[in-house]
């Protein structure tokens, strides 16, 4: 029997069109998300000035040229922040010296309590490559906004307060383009390859 | 292997506040109670542990007390659109013939207003009150500030 050539061509054509459609949908979806303020801005479009634990001013442009890993937290956070910090310490150790050329940054969402000294003291318990940033609240807000992240002060029964905040870890390549997010407590087997991708 | 267990049992029997102790109350078994070392007493501390229920009825952890904190509370960390918050948990359900873990990123006992610095390697007691089974006290092992899981083995390991 003769193969139904015309039909085959048709199938291939339909598949090609579908493929293009899906590709287009993906691209627009990413574009839409960026426009809708869901995806983080590229680092070169962010703007803020914060202070690290050694007192130096850090701006987003300082990160360009190196891959960047950023997360939000605060040192009065008893549950997920130490967990994220220890996860990150484990990932950095797994990646080894290769991770030296990455900016690994914790931005405090609690500048009222986290001074640069307090951040430094706290971070001394974790991987020394982790940089802690804090600063005036409007600058923190501007930084958080660039990542399309969020945070909120929540009063507690004892008169103290805690902070709700975005828990994922944001990854950018050396050109400052957003690469991916590592979700809170994401399995090591998925987290480490994501970081390696940002390092490429 | 048996000898190791015998030695471990001896070591465990030696101290008054035993690290890695498993306690029981009614059909409930509480194990792997751990915390993280604190820097001073200003920040809240945390307690994690595992509760197993071999009974045929559901129970619930209602509250905790400890000399280590003036205001201990049960919390649950929840993620909503990637944002973490930790509302007060009125109770932690302990299902019949099941178990529940207080663990990072989930239920936890939050120790507000610490009365003492939590020093790595030491222990402090926590008393748990269950709705049906009543009260039980367990020593909590203080681990490193960067710990993310208990060093104590699960009781059946
Ligand atoms: Cu809490």
Residue in A with minimal Cα distance to B110: A78
Whole-angstrom distance, CA of residue B157 vs CA of residue B151: 12
Interchain CB contact of A80 with B (< 8 Å): yes
Q: Cβ B83–A166 below 8 Å, yes or no?
A: yes
Residues of A in contact with B68 (CB under 8 A): none
DSSP 3-state assignment of A127?
coil
Reported as a pLDDT band with limits 50, 70 and 90, residue A13 is low
Q: What is the pLDDT along chain B (157 residues), one digit of tens a residue?
A: 444 444 444 444 444 456 789 999 999 999 999 999 999 999 999 999 999 999 999 999 999 999 999 999 999 999 999 999 999 999 999 999 999 999 999 999 999 999 999 999 999 999 999 999 999 999 999 999 999 999 999 988 6
Mutate to test the interface with A, among B68, B146, B151 (most CBs of A within 10 A): B146
Whole-angstrom distance, CA of residue B137 vs CA of residue B134: 11
Q: Cβ B146–A126 below 8 Å, yes or no?
A: yes
pLDDT of residue A38: 81
Residues of A in contact with B108 (CB under 8 A): 78-79
Residues of A in contact with B83 (CB under 8 A): 150-152, 164-167
**Closest to A71 (Cα-Cα) out of A92, A45, A98:** A92
- The set of residues, in sequence order, having a beta carbon less than 8 Å from that of A66 and lying 6+ positions away, is A101, A102, A103, A174
Whole-angstrom distance, CA of residue A64 vs CA of residue B131: 56
Cα three-residue angle B115-B108-B137, rounded to 5 degrees: 60
Residue in B with minimal Cα distance to A82: B146
In degrees rounded to 5, what are phi and psi of residue B153? -70, 155
Beta bridge partners of A51: A57, A134
**CA of A79 relative to ligand 1 center, distance in Å:** 6
B2-143 folds as Immunoglobulin-like (2.60.40)
pLDDT in tens, A80-97: 999 999 999 999 999 999
pLDDT of residue B7: 42
pLDDT of residue B127: 98
Per-residue HEC secondary structure of chain B comes to CHHHHHHHHHHHHHCCCCCCCCEEECCEEEEEEEEECCCCCCCCEEEEEEEEECCCCCEEEEEEECCCEEEEEEEECEEECCEEECCECCCEEECCCEEEEECCCCEEEEEEEECCCCCCCCEEEEEEEECCCEEEEEEEEEECCCCCCCCCCCCCC
Whole-angstrom distance, CA of residue A164 vs CA of residue A153: 6
Kind plus residue range of the DSSP H or E element containing A57: strand A57-58
Interchain CB contact of A115 with B (< 8 Å): no
**Strands, E assignment, A120-160:** 130-134, 151-155
Model pTM above 0.90: no
Whole-angstrom distance, CA of residue B63 vs CA of residue B69: 13
B-contacting residues in A 9-38 (Cβ below 8 Å) = none
Whole-angstrom distance, CA of residue B103 vs CA of residue B101: 6
Sequence length of chain B is: 157
Shortest CA gap B72–chain A (Å): 10
pLDDT of residue A28: 45
């Amino acid at each position: 029997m003769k193969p139904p050539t015309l039909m085959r061509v048709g199938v291939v054509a339909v598949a090609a069109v579908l493929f293009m459609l899906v590709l287009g949908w993906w691209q627009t979806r990413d574009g839409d998300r960026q426009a809708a303020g869901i995806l983080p801005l590229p680092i070169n479009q962010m703007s803020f000035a914060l202070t690290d634990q050694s007192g130096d001013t850090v701006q987003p442009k300082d990160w360009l040229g190196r891959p960047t890993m950023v997360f939000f937290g605060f040192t009065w956070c008893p549950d997920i922040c130490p967990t994220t910090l220890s996860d990150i310490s484990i990932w950095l150790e797994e990646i080894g010296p290769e991770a030296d050329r990455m900016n690994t940054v914790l931005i405090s969402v609690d500048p009222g309590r986290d001074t640069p000294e307090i951040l430094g003291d706290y971070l001394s318990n974790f991987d020394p490559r982790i940089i802690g940033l804090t600063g005036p609240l409007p600058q923190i807000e501007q930084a958080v906004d660039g990542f399309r992240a969020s945070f909120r002060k929540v009063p507690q029964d004892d008169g103290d307060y805690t902070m709700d905040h975005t828990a994922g870890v944001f990854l950018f390549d050396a050109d400052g383009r957003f690469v991916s997010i590592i979700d809170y407590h994401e399995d090591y087997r998925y987290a480490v390859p994501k970081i390696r991708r940002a390092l490429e | 292997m048996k000898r190791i267990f015998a030695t471990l049992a001896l070591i465990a029997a030696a101290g008054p506040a035993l690290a890695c102790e498993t306690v029981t109350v009614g059909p409930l078994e509480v194990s792997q109670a751990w915390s993280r070392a604190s820097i001073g007493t200003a920040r809240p501390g945390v307690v994690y542990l595992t509760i197993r229920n071999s009974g045929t009825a559901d129970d619930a952890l209602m509250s905790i007390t400890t000399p280590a904190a003036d205001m201990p509370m049960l919390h649950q960390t929840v993620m909503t659109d990637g944002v973490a918050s930790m509302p007060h948990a009125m109770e932690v359900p302990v299902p019949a013939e099941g178990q529940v873990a207080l663990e990072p990123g989930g239920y936890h006992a939050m120790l507000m207003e610490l009365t003492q610095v939590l020093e790595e390697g030491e222990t402090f007691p926590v008393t748990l009150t269950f709705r049906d089974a009543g009260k039980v006290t367990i020593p909590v092992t203080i681990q490193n500030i960067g710990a993310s899981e208990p060093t104590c083995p699960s009781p059946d390991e």
